[in-house]
Amino acid sequence: TGMWSQISGPTNAVFTNNSLFNSTVANLLGGSYVFRWTITNAAGCSTFSDVTIQINRRPVAVNDIYSTSLNTDVTLPILENDTDPDGTTTIDPGSIVIKTNPANGTALIDPVSGNVIYRPNNGFTGSDSFTYTIKDYTGLESNIAIVTIGISIKPIGSNDAAFTSTNANVVIPIKANDADGANSNIVLGTSPSNGNVVINPDGTVTYTPNTGFSGRDSFTYRLRKSSGNESDPITVTISVKPIGVIDLGNTLAGTPLDVSVKDNDLSAVNTAVIPNASPLNGTLVFSTSGVVQYTPNPGFSGKDTFTYRLRTTDGIESDAITVTINVRPIGTTDNVSTPINLAIPISVKDNDASKTGTSVVIVTT
């Protein structure tokens, strides 16, 4: 009697009848199989013979769809979706054969990468196609696959500029000035460095600056047509104006006062304090740290004001910010004498530091 058995192989083979020499075997995948035919006589003596079968299945080429712009070459990675049942590494990138050439362009094969460089004919727009096959390293050829390329005019966009202020978002209609904006979708490119961008359903975008940021920020986007064709990158520049908060200080006549004007400003980071309008009754000294020293004029008391602006490193300035200084008057004790029941005039302001621009108020009698 005789019997087939499997010695090795990637799967368990199925015999229709393993006791027949001319048996059929199934369930074979790609790879090497060894089967053994063993014969045993009535006395129990046996002998065997091994058979090696190499299974190789043909690779599968899959149709591709690509797009490019007018007069623009495009590299097509046509092998990316192609497979070999025996393993993707068995596809030979140098085995691509163009079966039918494109009617409106040329297709050049790179035998190292397996990519195809397609060049449309000058001025052609529309759809073009070619077919190809591939082989595995044993030379087994695949089915024929179709590559379709849509050639259209690249959408055109225009750069945008927008304006906002610290901690305030802004909605930007970026497609409003784009020649092909109406029939294109927005694809974000590079992100802003100091904020974030969200695409809105109506085709606008919302830019939100990072908390406390002021200055210039930017991001890019592309316009994409339904064909997949995209524009060159389009830049959106946002100028974020710094915001300051009014300040109030108090000092005495003749006494300088340091005012840290940036401490309460929303845009205190990465901004410089620059003079705007000087006080009428004092002088100012600006430091690089954002502290302004106010010195009242000799003899002055009352309310004085000055303004400053915040300026970013790229030159964007805030509106004028007002600082109000209350300068309290200073008086000097007076000593006089007079005979009993004799009234005398007393010039109480003559020795006061703040006699100019002040009036005398009797507090106690």
Residues 14 and 49 in one domain: yes
Residues 260 and 219 in one domain: no
pLDDT class for 241, splitting at 50, 70, 90? Answer: very high
Residues 282 and 359 in one domain: yes
Select from 152, 177, 211 the last residue of a domain: 152
Select from 152, 170, 189 the last residue of a domain: 152
Angle (CA) 3-8-9 rounded to 5° is 115
Angle (CA) 41-47-50 rounded to 5° is 135
Residues 119 and 223 in one domain: no
Residues 105 and 49 in one domain: no
- Determine the Cα–Cα distance for residues 3 and 30; give it in Å rounded to an integer: 24
Q: Give bridge partners of residue 316 from the DSSP assignment.
A: none
Residues 324 and 258 in one domain: yes
pLDDT class for 2, splitting at 50, 70, 90? Answer: confident
Of 120 and 359, more confident: 120
Output the six-digit token pair for 22.
Answer: 């001319």
Q: Give bridge partners of residue 110 from the DSSP assignment.
A: none
Structure confidence by residue, pLDDT tens digits, 128-176: 999 999 998 888 899 999 999 999 888 889 999 999 999 999 999 999 9
Of 364 and 291, more confident: 291
Average confidence (pLDDT) over 224-243:
92
Residue 74 burial by CB count (10 A; 0-12/13-18/19+): exposed, middle or buried? middle
Cβ atoms of 206 and 198 within 8 Å: the answer is yes
Q: Give bridge partners of residue 83 from the DSSP assignment.
A: 60
Residues 263 and 350 in one domain: yes
User: Which pLDDT value is given to residue 122?
Assistant: 95
Domain count, the chain: 4
Select from 101, 127, 152 the last residue of a domain: 152
Residues 227 and 249 in one domain: no
Residues 285 and 355 in one domain: yes
Residues 235 and 249 in one domain: no
Average confidence (pLDDT) over 3-10:
85
Q: Is 203 left (phi over 0), alpha (psi -120 to 50) or beta?
A: left
Cβ atoms of 194 and 209 within 8 Å: the answer is yes
DSSP 126: E
Does residue 88 register a pLDDT over 60? Answer: no
Q: Give bridge partners of residue 149 from the DSSP assignment.
A: 66, 128
Does residue 77 register a pLDDT over 60? Answer: yes
Residues 306 and 283 in one domain: yes
Residues 340 and 263 in one domain: yes
CA nearest neighbour of 150 among 77, 98, 63, 227: 227
Torsion of CA 260, 263, 265, 269, to 10 degrees: 110
- Determine the Cα–Cα distance for residues 70 and 180; give it in Å rounded to an integer: 15
- Determine the Cα–Cα distance for residues 265 and 246; give it in Å rounded to an integer: 8
Cβ atoms of 203 and 181 within 8 Å: the answer is yes
Residue 323 burial by CB count (10 A; 0-12/13-18/19+): exposed, middle or buried? buried
Task: Name the residue range of residue 183's domain.
Answer: 160-241
**CATH number (domain holding residue 86):** 2.60.40.10
